[in-house]
Amino acid sequence: MLKKRIIICLDVKDGRTTKGVKFKDNKDIGDPVEMAAEYYRQGVDELVFYDIMASARGKKPILDLIAAVASQVFIPFCVGGGIASLDDIRAIILAGAEKVSLNSQAVRNPTLITEGARVFGNQCIVLGMDAARDSTAPSGYRVYINGGRVKTELDALEWAKTAVKLGAGEIVLNAIDTDGTRNGYELTLTRLISEAVEVPVIASGGGGTPEHLADVLSEGKADAALVASMVHSGEYTVSSIKEALAARNIAVRL
């Protein structure tokens, strides 16, 4: 049985780790390099670094900060935010990341997914998708870009399937409605996407207790769960989460 992964997300703004609720009211919570080192010590399976303002501001990824984080972790490391070209992808990989997450730029320029997968391999190209409930969308969920600020015409389910056809090797599904609430993941949306694509789906947004992770990894059929607030607060460690999941017979790397 493939083990389920626990992934920690560092949302970075102006070089500092930040955390908000439903993509708003972000507060500074620490140094991303120090936090990455600590989570690596705790046994996290993967780390995701999002420059949450890069695309909205038209900025490039902060390569020196990415390299500093990469120097602290020896696990898969994914970087998103401000990636607009193959040169950007190459620079991030050379800075030490194994994967890049394409979100707003993938919507604006879907060929970036195809070209990225062709040059660097599908395993390097992750679709980051920010989605929220919308009764006018065919699936009931719509895609947003620019850190959840801009509504698109894309239906979440159709965009997920299209991105995989284009070459995305993994999807990080960011549920705007549950982001930062710590009240549980968006199970309906996660299951909808997980059942529709043949690549791993990472659930993001709403994790507050190990039970929430257990729910999304089983009922939501996610391959991995991304956490932020519940570990940033110090209430849980990676090992305490994994032990709780193992006690529920969910296969994790202990």
**CA dist., res. 98 & res. 203, Å (int):** 19
Separation of alpha carbons 185 and 207, rounded Å: 6
The tokens describing 178, both together, are 């549950």
DSSP state of 3: P
For 169, phi then psi, to 5°, come to -95, -5
- CA angle, residues 17, 234, 130, in degrees to nearest 5: 45
Our answer to whether residue 51 is catalytic in this structure is no
Determine the Cα–Cα distance for residues 145 and 81; give it in Å rounded to an integer: 11
Cβ neighbors of 118 (< 8 A, separation 6 or more) are 167
Q: Which residues contact 235 (CB under 8 A, 6 or more apart)?
A: none
How does DSSP classify residue 114?
A: H
* 8 A C-beta contact, residue 239 and residue 6: no
Is 64 designated active site?
Answer: no
Report H helices in 109-155: 111-120
Q: Of 224, 254, 252, which is closest to residue 8 (Cα–Cα)? A: 224
130, 155, 179, 215: which one is catalytic?
Answer: 130
Active site residues: 11, 130
